[in-house]
Amino acid sequence: MWGNVGNLMGGMPCPYAKKGTVSSYQLDDPQILHIDAINNEGFSGGPLFFYPAGKPEEVRVAGVVSKFRVEYENVIDENGEPTGMTVPYNTGFLIAYGSKYILSIIATYRKSRSSFKTNLPAN
């Protein structure tokens, strides 16, 4: 998702930014962060930033946005009876993977790529 901000970004598109609050986190592997924030389609793969306490000039990456939690509501008819259909809705919880976990994935990928290149047959 991109916003048109004219020349503010040198003519480049500007991504949407939202704010949220850490709701819970899991430190074991994989690191998972639950953020109380609305996550829109298109945010997945984007960075999750934070500012250390008292240091608003130091932007850091906490992880990468993965998805948002979806729940389903029953559709009811005019008499208040369930129709058997459901509709999904965004619960307002963003799920992200921590930077430590993301860096381990990148390292694994790089290692597999380098071993692939060294195992290629000679021409």
4 is a domain residue? no
pLDDT tens per residue across span 73-104: 999 999 999 999 999 988 888 999 998 888 88
**What pTM did the predictor assign?**
0.65
pLDDT tens per residue across span 14-61: 667 778 999 998 888 889 999 999 887 778 888 898 888 999 888 888
7 is a domain residue? no
Both tokens of 109, joined, read: 């990928």
Domain that holds residue 63: 15-118
58 is a domain residue? yes
Higher pLDDT, 91 or 12: 91
Contact 66, 95 (CB under 8 A): yes
91 is a domain residue? yes
81 is a domain residue? yes
Edge-to-edge strand list for the sheet holding 32-36? 21-26, 32-36, 82-98, 60-76, 47-50
Question: What burial class does residue 1 get, using C-beta atoms within 10 Å of its C-beta: 0-12 exposed, 13-18 middle, 19+ buried?
Answer: exposed
Half-sphere exposure of 119 (CA within 13 A, CB side): 6
Contact 71, 122 (CB under 8 A): no
Residue with structure tokens 């008292």? 54
Number of domains in the chain: 1
Q: Quick one: pLDDT at residue 10?
A: 66
Cα separation, 22 vs 26, in Å, equals: 11
For residue 120, pLDDT beyond 80: no
113 is a domain residue? yes
The CA-CA-CA angle for residues 116, 122, 123, to 5°, reads 125
